[in-house]
């Protein structure tokens, strides 16, 4: 293997969408412990960075690690950006970040669970709840027209059940891209700490 080959990895990226709220297939709510999902309404770069690193540390989320405080604040203060946080027994368990875009589209920018909360049925519930919030986002942002499309992308670097979870919630695949990306050294569980 050449040195150049060792520095890149093949990554498959899947793009998925829903074009109507009726396409959402809700997951059942986990039995115990019962999660609560709350919108983080006050922009907090510290909290958003915590969620990003806690959820994405072991699945190589690295694009926002170099962000400055001002970059986080700019994102969080953009109209139509929402962060919904799942709590189990008062502990943050995961989050879903929505970003309103042009043409009445809402992107699920980030979604995931902190590793200790995976495998409990919480992911399907949080994704169902967050997708429903993408569909009714205009109710909270009166200057926006009603959502006509919810979309996202996931890739082969994400968790092994990510693509399946999206498809079970009614998202349809509309594009697949395979490419090379720089190999990111394993940042460990606490990237950017």
State the pTM of this model. Answer: 0.91
Asked if the structure places residue 193 within a domain, the reply is no
Angle at 142 between CA 111 and CA 96, to 5 degrees: 5
pLDDT of residue 62: 83
Kindly report the length of the chain: 193
pLDDT of residue 2: 45
- Gap between the Cα atoms of 64 and 143, Å rounded: 28
Asked if the structure places residue 117 within a domain, the reply is yes
Identify whether the C-beta of residue 76 lies closer than 8 Å to the C-beta of residue 43.
Answer: yes
157-180 residue pLDDT tens: 888 889 999 999 999 999 999 999
Asked if the structure places residue 188 within a domain, the reply is no
Q: What domain range includes position 54? A: 3-182
DSSP per-residue string spanning 91-111:
EEEEEEEEEE-STTEEEEEEE
Asked if the structure places residue 189 within a domain, the reply is no
Asked if the structure places residue 191 within a domain, the reply is no
pLDDT level of residue 192 (50, 70, 90 thresholds)? very low
Asked if the structure places residue 150 within a domain, the reply is yes
pLDDT of residue 187: 54
C-alpha 165 chain-centroid distance: 12
pLDDT surpasses 70 at 44: yes
pLDDT surpasses 90 at 57: no
pLDDT of residue 39: 98
Question: Who wins on pLDDT, 6 or 74?
Answer: 74
Identify whether the C-beta of residue 24 lies closer than 8 Å to the C-beta of residue 149.
Answer: no
Question: Who wins on pLDDT, 147 or 189?
Answer: 147
Asked if the structure places residue 78 within a domain, the reply is yes
Which residues are within 8 A (CB) of 90 and not within 5 positions of it... i.e. 6 or more apart?
A: none
103-146 residue pLDDT tens: 999 999 999 999 999 988 899 999 999 999 999 999 999 999 99
- The CATH number given to whatever domain includes residue 63 is 3.40.630.30
Q: Total domain count for the chain?
A: 1
């Amino acid at each position: 293997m050449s040195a150049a080959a060792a520095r890149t990895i093949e990554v498959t990226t899947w793009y998925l969408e829903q074009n109507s709220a009726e396409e959402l297939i809700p997951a059942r709510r986990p039995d115990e412990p019962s999660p609560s999902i709350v919108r983080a309404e006050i922009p907090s770069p510290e909290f958003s960075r915590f969620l990003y690193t806690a959820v994405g540390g072991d699945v190589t989320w690295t694009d926002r690690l170099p962000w400055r405080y001002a970059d986080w604040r700019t994102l969080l203060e953009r109209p139509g950006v929402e962060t919904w946080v799942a709590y189990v027994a008062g502990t943050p368990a995961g989050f879903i970040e929505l970003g309103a875009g042009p043409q009445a589209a809402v992107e699920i920018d980030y979604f995931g669970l902190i590793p200790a909360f995976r495998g409990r049925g919480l992911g399907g519930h949080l994704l169902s709840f967050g997708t429903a919030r993408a569909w009714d986002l205009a109710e909270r942002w009166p200057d926006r027209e009603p959502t006509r499309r919810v979309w996202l992308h996931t890739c082969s670097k994400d968790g092994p059940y990510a693509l399946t979870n999206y498809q079970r919630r009614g998202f349809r695949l509309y594009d697949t891209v395979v490419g090379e990306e720089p190999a990111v050294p394993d940042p460990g569980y606490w990237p950017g700490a």
